[in-house]
Chain A
Amino acid sequence: MINKLLRYKVIIVIGLLLVIFLPGVLVGDLDSKTDAIIVSVGIDKAEEKYEVTLQYLLPTQSGQFNKKLDVLSSKSGEISSAISDLSLKLGKNIGLSHCRSIVISDEIAKEDTVKTYDYFSRFKLNTNHISLIYTPKSAKEFLKTSTDSQNALLIDIGDSVDLSSVKLRGMQTFLNDFYIGYFSPSGCSHMGYIDVKEDEEKQESSGGGQGGGGQESGGGEGDEKSGGTKKISNEGKAVVFKKGKKVMVLEKEDVEAFGWFLKDITNETITIKNVLGDQYKNAAVGVQIIDNKAKAKVYFKEGSPVYDLKIRVTVRVSEVEQDDYGLENFDLLKENVNKVLNAAVIRKIEEDFNRAIALSLQHNVDIIDAYNNFYKYRTHQFKKFIDRLPNPDEYMQHITFKVNVDVRGGI
């Protein structure tokens, strides 16, 4: 009997598999019925408790998403229990796999933020694509406002951060990058700064509609939940953290200044004012960066570390504004990026470099990753140097910083 059965063992195995799997597949609930898709998470802290706000959407059984986003909050001592509470409130499983951003308030940023992120880093998340956002006021308010904006305009707040100058300047804001910075010897990380502001245009017009432009998005139509007169304002600022704690806020110009230390920046435009010489007559010239290669060379000179940054920028003139135009302004044979403009770009980059170094020294934060550079390429010398210092944490003060800029004109 057994021998007879063994002749059909393949069929038996397949049959057994079907018997085990098929009922589960046929009877089980669809994910779209049981799960809420979380788009963003906001975290505030009040009275020693976390207030977790979820921005979510509910998929319908037809397989289409209900486009209307909503927010829901819960307070608890731990992030995990707050999320469990939210799951109960929603009556759905919390699906964090599509989470695009985590927003933290100033209260959270003041303490060790990594404690806050721990839950998300352990959860089965695609941490490489979660943008971290700092908002100076309330993360809950931020998500409410962003929900109204997104419902009205279908703007994804994650896209907004991605396209901000913070991203353009390469100041990475993903969770993985934050952790890399946190665990690096300098302990320095960054994230984008986005505020919630009163929408003056909206307040003036009673009908509502769309407001803002560029990096700003307008509030929702007549929505009362968030007052309807607030808007998300991304001005390209960034926040610097040291060992997970907020150290300083970088203004847009500061972010741009630090951008020169990064390897690849393209499509960024800088404006050089009062350009004189050749075809330019006291012109304001918009210069677009086509290519930027920055390479830090680190070495020791007479026992002290030298950080020598070589920047090679390829630029093109994207706009010229001056009172008196001449044909020479459009002459193909005339070099647009001439010596005058070249010198102006070099001067601008050097000013930015000095500004960035001054900020780093002032706040004693290694935003330019100098420690890592010395540690990678001058490991033993740098270790000895650090050991010699009375206060190793202030190593930045003892490094000599140099910059060497090479500007080339492109088409």
Chain B
Amino acid sequence: MKSVTTRQTCLIILFTAITFKLMFLPSLLSGATKNNAPAAIVFLGIIELIIPAILLFLSNKYPDMTFKEILGKAFGKSVAKVVLILFSIHFLLRTIAAFIGYYLYLYFTLYSDLQWLAFAVPMILVLLYVITTGLKNIGRLVEIFVPLVMIAVVFILVFASVPADLSNVLPIFADGVASATIPALDFTLWTGNFLVYIMIMGNVKRSKHHNRSVIITIVVTVMIITLFYLLYTALFSYNASNYGQSNSDMISILPQSSDVASIYWLVAVVWCIAMFLYCIVFGACSQYCIQEAVGTKYKWQIGVLICVIVLAVSVGLNFDISKLIKIGKEYGKYYDYIVQFAIPILLLIFSFRLKSDRSGAKTEEAQTPLDSRESQLQQNRKLRKPHGRSAR
């Protein structure tokens, strides 16, 4: 059953790509690249575009197939399950990071005496409830809240652009291109958000302009993020690495905000919603991947497992995101390179081989995992209701 619409898909992509990147990362990149955060984020963005490019290509090639089915077709059922588990861990890590980030954001902006227990228990309960309700509800949730988040983003960009001095962005690449870009590769905890599309593949009611809408969304996303980083650096200049709560810090620089404060509070409150929604989307992605790997009948057990892990790791790290970032910088990045880049690229290569396999030019490698399932998949496709492009 198709769960999300093209509009919901675009909103999910836009929301997930933006939300977490506007927290902590501007400050971290400014420190690591000696105030070259805009150049670093453009570099990360270009690399990150590999993911949606591949996923969109696969989604077009197999519009009615879920990610699991494509994986199964390419690598075989067992390998597909392993890959799905790898992806679920990837999403789980982001859920944990966002959960801790959410707590810290609340702590730094709204409730300085917030107790972790009072925060974590209700949030985990809500997280458990929402991630087990399925993709359709998450699509609706995103449709309701993302416009609100986007209004907050527009507020940040518009109001921060007034006092911003864009000359503070200069010089770009003062110490060479490498020193301004390569350190960004350590922060993979903030990349790979486009992988959320794997949950959507095969589950989307494709509109007439699905591809165009998704591509425009990705372009808009990259533009918003780049503009944000430009303004961030323009505002805080040499002191940029000192501002971890990037979005609320940018609003707080407005002279009138200390007295009126309304815009600051609006952004802070909306961003709390955004952070929790981000936890929900990635928690749901993790749930989806495990469910696809082990079966839908364990829905609640998987949900409980995810929530317990999120809570346990967050408490274990004492809600200190710096520990998670440090682990990510030293070890996690290698895992992310595999999940975010190596697997999608391999999948793409295998999908090409599958094409040649169909055209009759069979290779020995292509025959082994795919042929046995080819007839079954054909059968499955026939059983599916025709939809969207396939229907036409």
Contacts and interface: CB of A to CB of B under 8 A. Distances in A.
Interface of A: 9-10, 13, 16-17, 20-21, 24, 121, 124, 126, 128-129, 176, 179-180, 182-184, 375-377, 379, 383
B126 A13 contact: yes
Contacts, number: 53
Nearest to A184: B238
Given A129-B258, A180-B236, A17 B242 contact: no
B170 A180 contact: no
Contacts of A375: 171, 174
B252 A128 contact: yes
B239 interface: yes
B378 interface: no
A383 to B, nearest CB: 8
Interface of B: 108, 112, 118, 121-122, 125-126, 129, 167, 170-171, 174, 236-239, 242, 252-253, 255, 258
A21 B122 contact: yes
Contact of A13 (B129, B237, B238, B253): B129
A377 B170 contact: yes
Contacts of A9: 129
Given A17-B125, A20-B118, A21-B118, 17 more contacts: A10-B129, A13-B125, A13-B126, A13-B129, A16-B122, A20-B121, A121-B242, A128-B252, A128-B253, A129-B252, A129-B255, A176-B239, A179-B238, A183-B239, A376-B171, A377-B171, A379-B171
B122 A180 contact: no
A371 B253 CA distance: 25
B247 to A, nearest CB: 14
Q: Interface of chain B, helix or strand or loop or mixed?
A: helix
Contacts of B122: 16-17, 20-21
B4 to A, nearest CB: 22
Most buried by A among B118, B242, B255: B242
Given A180-B236, A377-B170, A16 B253 contact: no
Contact of B108 (A20, A24, A124, A377): A124
A376 B238 contact: no
B282 to A, nearest CB: 20
Contacts of B242: 121, 179
A128 B258 CA distance: 9
A16 B236 contact: no
A377 B172 CA distance: 10
Contacts of A377: 170-171
A379 B258 contact: no
Give 8 closest A-B pairs by Cβ, nearest first: A183-B238, A376-B170, A379-B171, A129-B258, A179-B239, A128-B253, A180-B237, A180-B239
Contacts of B253: 128, 176
18 contacts: A13-B125, A13-B129, A20-B118, A20-B121, A20-B122, A128-B253, A128-B258, A129-B258, A176-B239, A179-B238, A180-B236, A180-B237, A180-B238, A183-B239, A375-B171, A375-B174, A376-B167, A377-B170
